[in-house]
Chain A
């Protein structure tokens, strides 16, 4: 079983829809990251969370440490949001910085 699980694996939405991507993890963590990767592109860090909620534009990330769960929400989705969204965690112990990655959620937003 992977230490970081994302759902769904693939997601297709219509422009304007509200989107939620979920991430569950099984290890104790010191931080959780949401990353974005466009097709053929590099990886961009969207959020780093250790508790609560963060918002940046139309993107909102939440984390529940007790439940070992995080969600990434996109409001008023747009075709340019089409990308792979990757959840990654940094373990609380035994790690000096390495990230453990989920397999990613491929989002496609249709106009």
Chain B
């Protein structure tokens, strides 16, 4: 398995533009997580899905952020409109099992810069 695949690796965009981040989880994993990492706040959960259903989106900063998981092999995180304070590294991770203890696999991250 190629692991969790995120794209793009780097994104530079202007304030106000729409940004879409993509994630392909490991085949067979049924939990998918979107995290944001900044110097100030470290890693924070944005949203996670179990069996393609959003379970907890309380970490999504505001209505400008939205996430979808149309099927078990693909998820998107969209920011519209983007702002400079959204600049961060966004990680996607997947895991097998809801209540059971399975390991997590992280993608390489998308480094977003909003200018």
Q: A residues near B, CB below 8 A? A: 30-31, 33, 35, 41-45, 48, 50, 86, 88, 90, 96-99, 101-104
Do B43 and A86 have beta carbons less than 8 Å apart?
Answer: yes
Given the contacts A98-B45, A101-B42, A45 and B108 also touching, CB distance less than 8 Å: no
Taking CB atoms, residues of chain A closer than 8 Å to B106 are 35, 42-45
Do B103 and A48 have beta carbons less than 8 Å apart?
Answer: yes
Taking CB atoms, residues of chain B closer than 8 Å to A99 are 33, 45, 104
Q: B residues near A, CB below 8 A? A: 31, 33, 42-45, 48, 50, 55-56, 91, 93, 95, 97-99, 101-109
Known: A96-B99, A101-B43. 11 other contacts (CB 8 A): A42-B106, A42-B108, A43-B106, A45-B103, A48-B102, A97-B31, A97-B48, A97-B50, A97-B95, A103-B42, A104-B42
Which residue on A lies nearest to B95, using beta carbons?
A: A97
Taking CB atoms, residues of chain B closer than 8 Å to A90 are 101
Whole-angstrom CA separation of A17 from B53 in the bound complex: 47
State the majority secondary structure of interface residues on A: strand
Which residue on B lies nearest to A102, using beta carbons?
A: B42
Taking CB atoms, residues of chain A closer than 8 Å to B43 are 86, 88, 101
Taking CB atoms, residues of chain A closer than 8 Å to B44 are 101
